Amino acid sequence: MPITSKFVCLNGRFIKEEELSFDANNRAFRYGDGFFETMHYAKGQVQLFNLHLNRIEKTMQLLKLESNILLNTRLLHKEIVHLINANHFFKGARIRISIFRDGDGLYLPNSNKANYLIETWALNAENYPINNKGLHLETYNELTKVKSKNYFYKSLNTRVSILASLYKKELEADDCFLLNSENEIIESISSNVFFIKKNILYTPSKSSGCVHGVMREKILQTLSKTNLKIDENTSIKEENIMQFDEIFLSNAIQGIQWIGAYKTKRYDNKITKQIQKILIADIFS
């Protein structure tokens, strides 16, 4: 019998998606008072789960949210797997955990208790297949992100990424580079970015204002065991983009996606494919 309703998990309670409701006092709606974490599930496991939990814990500390089940590794993983099985997503799934402050209050909250909502969507592949056709990127510069190491998490306020997505659609591009307040390239709409030139891998620093991506961290961990030279504290501006040999994006859902074109420049993917092969072997070993 086909599944007609999708389930979600709200604070440990499994309910049908259409039964989910929030009142007007919800702080996620009123103030964007929270954050979210996106994970990849395949072969009975959430990939890079401990790295995700580390970022959740750091974000909750920064936002002064009280710890609860979200930091209970075994129980949270059990709830995720239960939800995926309830929705019959057996091949692979994208997971989003939205975490937001409970209670009322104006800017000053009357509670620091954290609520959480787990949602899942089916994926077509269990692993991280690299794209066959290179992505076409442009740069979005109408709004910038603050340059700060404290913007490492995925805020519920994603205004820059939303407007960049609309800009991308207007240009019929696949993605856009985002800039910080010093006009440095820090990431794309939903991914970290890596640049390759003469066998050196460059990526914007954690202090640039980029999201401290879990896949970014895994790539750097994995490649530290190879002979590839890595510079993770570089500053790259728009005028530097065309100097590179290869560029790729990374995130927890897609793994690595290579860029084929930026304006009139075309890019190779030889080293990127080698990195992707090493990464997949390490993740699924």
Give the predicted TM-score (pTM) of the model.
0.93
Structural element, H or E, at residue 141 = strand 135-145
Structure tokens at 99: 């975490």
Residue count of the chain, please give it.
285
pLDDT in tens, 107-125: 999 999 999 999 999 998 8
255 neighbors 198 (Cβ within 8 angstroms)? no
140 neighbors 95 (Cβ within 8 angstroms)? no
State mean pLDDT over 27-54: 94
Q: Give all domains of the chain, ordered by start, each with its CATH number.
A: 7-122 (3.30.470.10), 135-283 (3.20.10.10)
Please give the Cα distance from 269 to 134 (Å, whole number).
8
Q: How confident is the model at residue 254 (pLDDT cuts 50, 70, 90)?
A: very high
Structural element, H or E, at residue 9 = strand 7-10
State mean pLDDT over 2-7: 69
Please give the Cα distance from 242 to 188 (Å, whole number).
16
261 neighbors 284 (Cβ within 8 angstroms)? no
Residue type, 75: L
Closest listed residue to residue 152, CA positions, set 74, 241, 214, 220: 214
pLDDT above 60: residue 27: yes
pLDDT above 60: residue 1: no
Structure tokens at 104: 């009322």
Burial class (CB within 10 angstroms; exposed 0-12, middle 13-18, buried 19+) of 238: middle
Q: What percent of the chain has a predicted confidence (pLDDT) above 90?
A: 83
Q: DSSP label at 17? A: G
pLDDT in tens, 188-213: 999 999 999 998 999 999 999 999 99
Q: For position 4, what pLDDT does the model report?
A: 56
Please give the Cα distance from 131 to 258 (Å, whole number).
7
Q: How confident is the model at residue 5 (pLDDT cuts 50, 70, 90)?
A: confident
